Structure 1
Amino acid sequence: MNDYLLYGIIALVVIIILAFIFLKVIKNKQPKQIKAGDIPVDINMIIDAVGGKVNLKETVASSSKVTFFVNNDSLVDLEKLKALGASGIVQTTNKVSAIFGKYSKEISNMINDE
C-alpha cells in the first residue's frame, strides 16, 4: 500500500513539473510584436500610392494583407504599391487588397491612425 502512495506522489510531482515546463514553452512561443520602426516601408508612400488621404476611406488588415477602401479607383497606383513591397494586389470597385506579409496589421493600424 505504501508503494502505491509513493508512486502516486512521484507521478503527481512529475506531472506538475511537466505542466510547468509546457506553460513556460508556450509563453515564450507567442508572436513578437512588430513596432513601427520594424516596417521596411514608408507609410506615407503607401498612402500616396492609394491616392492620398482624401481618397482613402479606411484600411482593414488580415494576417498577411491590407485592404484599402478608396473613393476613386483611378487614383490608385498599383505599380507603386508593388514597388513598395506588395507581393500581390487585387483591385475591385472601391477596394484594393495588397499583400504585405507579417507587417500588414501594423501598416493598417498606422494608416488608420493618420
Structure 2
Amino acid sequence: MKLLFDENLSPKLPHILSVDFPESMHVRDCGLKGFPDEDVWEYARSNGFTIVSKDSDFYQRSLLYGHPPKLVWLRIGNCNRDILVALITKYKEQIYLLDSNPSESILVILS
C-alpha cells in the first residue's frame, strides 16, 4: 500500500509511517511540489498510489473521475504532525480496506 501525501501535509509523513505504509512518498519526493492537482492525480494513478490530502479538490476529482487513484480525504482542521500520524495510524485498517475494495474510491477521515 503506497500513499502519496499532498503538499498541504508534512513531507516527513512517509518516513514516519514507513512501517505501516512502505513505499509511500510526499509530492515533494516525486518532484511535484507546486504542480497542479491534475499532475498529482495522474502521477498517483500511473504509479499505484493512494492520495492522502486535506484538499477538497481531490475529493471533487474523485467523485468526477472515480478511481484509480483512490483518496484518503482528511477532513480535519489544523493540527500538528503527531496528531496526524496518530489519526492515520488509527485508521490504518480502513485505509488498507479501501485499497482492496474495488467498488470504493474515497475514505473520509474526520477528526
TM-score by length of 2: 0.24
Larger Rg: 1
TM-score by length of 1: 0.24
